[in-house]
Amino acid sequence: MSRVGRGHSTARTVLGAVAAAATLVAMAGCSSSASPSGSGDAGGDVTIEFAQWWEPELPDGQFRALMDQFESENPGIKVKLVSGPYASTKEQLFAGAASGTMPDVVGLDGAWVNDFASKGVIANLTDLMTQNNYDESQLASQIKVDGSTYMIPVVNFVYPMFSNDDLLAKAGVTAPPSTRTEFADAAKKIKALGGDVSGWVLPLSLEAPNGVQNDVMSWVWASGGSMLKDGKPDLTNKDVTSAMNYIDGLWKDGVIASGSFTMKEQDKVEEFTNGRVGMMIDSLAHINLIRQSNPNLKFSISAIPAADGYTGQRGIPYASWGIGVAENSAHKDAAFKLVSFLMSKDTNSKLSTLAKAFPGNTQSTPDFSGSDELFKKAFDIYKAGYPANEFTGLPTAEDLMRQLGQQLQTALDGQQSMDDALKNAQTSWAAAF
Amino acid sequence: MTLKTPVSLDTEVLVTGVAHSRRRRQLRRTTESYAFLAPTLILLLVLMIVPIVMVIGYSLQSNVILSKNGQFVGIQNYLTVLGDGAFWKATSNTVVFTVVSVAAHLVLGLGFALMLNSTLIGAVPRAIFRGLYVLPWLFAVAVIAVLWRMLLAPNGVINFLLNANVEWLASPQLALGTVTFINIWAGYPFFMVSLLAGLQGIPSDLYEAATVDGASSVQRFWNVTLPQLRPIIVSLLLLDLIWTSQQFALIWMTTGGGPIDVTEVLSTYTYKLAFAKYDFSLAATAAVLVLLMSMVLAVFYVRHQKARD
C-alpha cells in the first residue's frame, strides 16, 4: 500500500514536471521560428526569402519560373517566394521590420520607402551597388532618401484617362477630352444622358486613400504642376489650388459618381466596367480585368487632360513594383544578385511583358505584340510625357494622402472652402516633414 | 484559495513510509503545486502579461518598435493623445456606436427570443424563423462588410428598392447611423440565442402562479420574465459593451473611419496611428487608454459574475 501511495505521489510530481517542461519546449519552439530570415543550408546553399505581392498578380507559375532561372544562373542561391496580396504584404513587412525578421528581399511601394529607410530597416542600395560595381545608369529611376537609394522601381504602371467610347458618342462628344474645359464639358453632357450615368468617378476612401494620389493630384501633375517646393509641402501654390478648385467645380456640377467619400479603387473600376461612368483615371493593369468583366465595353485611353493653354510635357501618375533589401538580411550579396537579375535587360523585359507594365531598365523593351493595343498606346503617352508621383519617398506618404483626402471631403461637403482645406492640409503635412 | 494540501504528518508517514522534515515536505508540496500550474501560468505570462506590460512600456517611450533607440518620455504620450481632438471625436463616436448597438441588440434579441419561445407559433415555422434570425451570426465580419457595402452602394439593391439615390455610407450625415445599423444586424443573434436559452429555463410554475394571481401578460413579462433573465441580460450587456467598443474590422472595411471623421472610433484611430503614421508609441498609448476603459467594464462584469456565484 505504501508503494502505491508513493507511486502516485511520484507520478504526480513527474507529470507536473513533464507538463512544465513540455510548455517550456513549446515556448522555445515558438521563439525559434522567429529567427532571422534567410538561412544557410547544410549543403552550402543560401536560401533567401523574397516577400512581394507580384506573384499573385502574374499568370500562374511565371514568376516562379523567373526565380528558377535565377537559381540556375546562380548556383548555391535558392529563392523562397513569400507571396500575398498587397495589403497583407505591407502589414507583414512592417511586422517583420518591428521584429527584425524582414525577408531578405522585399517588394516595396514608393509610399513606404521613407518610413522604412528612416527607421533603418531597409538597406542602403547605393552602398550595395558600389560594392557590387553595378552600373546604375541603366536604371530608369531610383527612390532616394537623403541622397541614397533605398528602392529601385522594377516595373511601372501608369495611370492614363480611360473613356467609355459609347457613352461619349451618345453624349455627342467625338473625341476624348484633352483639356480641363473639354473634360468638364464632356462630363456634363454624359451626366445629362440621365439614369445612373455620371461623367467622372472619384474614389476618396479614407481606408485606401490612394485616390488622392491617382485621381486628384494627377490633375496637378498633368499640367506640369507640383505639390512640393524644395522637397517640402507646397499645397497652397496656384497649380494645386487651380486643380482642386476645378475638381470642386465638377463636384458642384454633380457630374461625379455618387459615393465618392467611401469609394475605393476597385469600386471605381467596377463603375466604369459596368458602363456607369464616362471617364476615369486608372492603372493600365486593369485593362485585362475590364475586358474580362465586360467584353462588350468599348473604351479608349488618352493622356490626362491638362489646364487650358498648357503646352508643356504632361506628368502621368504611376505606381511601381519596387524592390529593396532588408537591413537585417544575413545574405545581402545574394539578395543584391536577385535585385540585379530582376533589373537586367532581358529579365526586366520579360517581367514587364508579363505584368503589362513599363520596364525599370532603360534598355528593356516590353513585348506588347500579343497584348491589347491599348498598351502600345499607353506606352506612347508615357513616352510623350514624364512619370510623376510626388508621394514616392515622402514620409508617412499614405497618411499624407489620408490627411489631404479628409480635408478635401470637408471642402466638397461644404463645411469649409477649398482654400482653407489646402491650408489645413499644408499645416498637417508640414508636421510630418 | 491555497496551494497547500493539508495532510497530517502521521498520514504521510503511513502512506509513503518515509519521514521527511516538515519544511522539506512543505517545499515539495509547494513545488509540486506550482509544477501543475506552470503550463497555465507560463501561457498567461507569455500571451497576456508580457504583451500588456510591453505595450504599457511602449506608451511611456518615444520611437519604439521600428526604431531601436526608444527614449523614456513618461506621460508625455498620454498628454499628446488626450490633447488630440481626433481622440475625443473617436471616443464620442465609439460611445454612440456602442451604446446604440448594445441597446438595439438587447431589444431585438429579446424580442426575437420571446417570439421564438412563444407557443403561438408552430414548431416548423419556429425552426424556420430560428434559422433565418441566426443567419447574420454565421457570416464573418469581412463578409458582412462586403455584403452591406454592395447592398448600400448608391447603385445597390437598397436604393433600387427604395427608388432613391442615398449615399448611406458616404454621407457624413448618415454614415455613423449606417455602420451602427450594420453592427446591430450582425450582433443581435448572440443576444437572441442566449436569451432564448434563458427563457426556456424559466420554470412554468412561476407563470402559472402569476396567472392564478391575476397577472396580465405584460405584468408576467415585467415581474417574472425580466427578473428571471436579469443575470443573463447583465452579463450579455457587459460583454457586448466590451466587444462593441473594440469593433474594428466592420468599420474599417465599410468606411475606413470616414467620411471625414464621422465613423472614426478608438480602434480605427489607434490603427491609423500605428500603421499609417507609424507612431507606435502613440498607438500604444491609445491602446492602453482603451484597455483602461475596457477594464472598468471588465471589473463590473467580474463583480457581477462573483455576485452570481
Beta strands in A165-314 (DSSP E): 198-200, 228-229, 232-233, 277-281, 299-302
- pLDDT for the residue numbered B16: 62
Q: Which of B18, B38, B170 sits opposite A260 (nearest CB)?
A: B170
Partners of A276 on chain B (C-beta within 8 Å) are 155
Q: Is A275 in CB contact (< 8 Å) with chain B?
A: no
**Which residue in chain B has the smallest CA separation from A403?**
B260
Q: Do B257 and A207 touch (CB under 8 A)?
A: yes
Q: Do B172 and A267 touch (CB under 8 A)?
A: no
Q: Do A196 and B155 touch (CB under 8 A)?
A: yes
Q: Is B223 a residue whose pLDDT tops 90?
A: yes
Q: Is B65 a residue whose pLDDT tops 90?
A: no
- pLDDT for the residue numbered B18: 61
DSSP code string of B139-173: S-HHHHHHHHHHHHSTTSHHHHHHT----TTT-TT
Partners of B172 on chain A (C-beta within 8 Å) are 261, 409, 413
Partners of B272 on chain A (C-beta within 8 Å) are 399, 402
Neighbours of A66 (CB within 10 A): 19
**Which residue in chain B has the smallest CA separation from A260?**
B170
Q: Do A262 and B169 touch (CB under 8 A)?
A: yes
Residues of chain A with pLDDT under 70: 1-44
Q: Which of B17, B18, B170 sits opposite A259 (nearest CB)?
A: B170
Q: Is B120 a residue whose pLDDT tops 90?
A: no
How far from A305 is each of A162, A179, A220, A373, B72, CA to CA, in Å? 11, 4, 10, 21, 52
Q: How confident is the model at residue B110 (pLDDT cuts 50, 70, 90)?
A: very high
Helix, strand and coil percent figures for chain B, each rounded to 5: 75, 0, 25
DSSP designation for B46:
I
**How long is chain A?**
433
| Residue of A97, A119, A115 whose CA lies nearest to A36 | A97
Mean pLDDT of the region B142-153: 95
Nearest-neighbour CA in chain A from B71: distance (Å): 15
**Which residue in chain B has the smallest CA separation from A258?**
B154
DSSP code string of A3-65: HHHHHHHHHHHHHHHHHHHHHHHHHHHHHHTTPPS-EE-TTS-EEEEEEESSGGGSSTTHHHH
- pLDDT for the residue numbered A3: 40
Question: What is the residue whose three cell numbers read 523562397?
Answer: A80
Nearest-neighbour CA in chain A from B191: distance (Å): 31
Mean pLDDT of the region B118-140: 89
Partners of A205 on chain B (C-beta within 8 Å) are 256, 258
- pLDDT for the residue numbered A44: 58
How far from B81 is each of A23, A133, B265, B275, CA to CA, in Å? 39, 48, 14, 16
For testing contact with chain B, the best of A114, A115, A261, A403 (most B CBs within 10 A):
A261
**Interatomic CA distance for residues A67 and A342, integer angstroms:** 9
Burial of B58 (0-12, 13-18, 19+ CB in 10 A): buried
Please give the span between the terminal C-alpha atoms of chain B, in angstroms, as a whole number.
15
- pLDDT for the residue numbered A96: 87
**Which residue in chain B has the smallest CA separation from A432?**
B277
Nearest-neighbour CA in chain B from A168: distance (Å): 21
Mean pLDDT of the region B126-137: 90
**Interatomic CA distance for residues B2 and B35, integer angstroms:** 15
Task: Judge if the upstream peptide bond of residue B259 is cis by omega within 30 degrees of 0.
Answer: yes
Nearest-neighbour CA in chain A from B174: distance (Å): 12
**Interatomic CA distance for residues B54 and B241, integer angstroms:** 26
For testing contact with chain A, the best of B15, B31, B171, B260 (most A CBs within 10 A):
B260
Nearest-neighbour CA in chain B from A206: distance (Å): 5
For B148, half-sphere exposure in the C-beta direction (CA atoms, 13 angstrom radius) is: 26
Partners of A410 on chain B (C-beta within 8 Å) are 260
Q: Do B66 and A115 touch (CB under 8 A)?
A: yes
Q: Do A98 and B165 touch (CB under 8 A)?
A: no
**Which residue in chain B has the smallest CA separation from A3?**
B16
The structure's pTM equals 0.82
Mean pLDDT of the region B162-171: 94
For A241, half-sphere exposure in the C-beta direction (CA atoms, 13 angstrom radius) is: 10
Per-residue pLDDT reduced to its tens digit, B247-303: 999 999 999 998 999 999 999 999 999 888 888 999 999 999 999 998 888 888 888
Q: What is the mean pLDDT of chain B?
A: 90
**Cell, residue B90:** 473617436
- pLDDT for the residue numbered A288: 80
- pLDDT for the residue numbered A221: 96
Q: Do B32 and A12 touch (CB under 8 A)?
A: yes
Q: Do B38 and A19 touch (CB under 8 A)?
A: yes
- pLDDT for the residue numbered B224: 94
- pLDDT for the residue numbered B19: 62
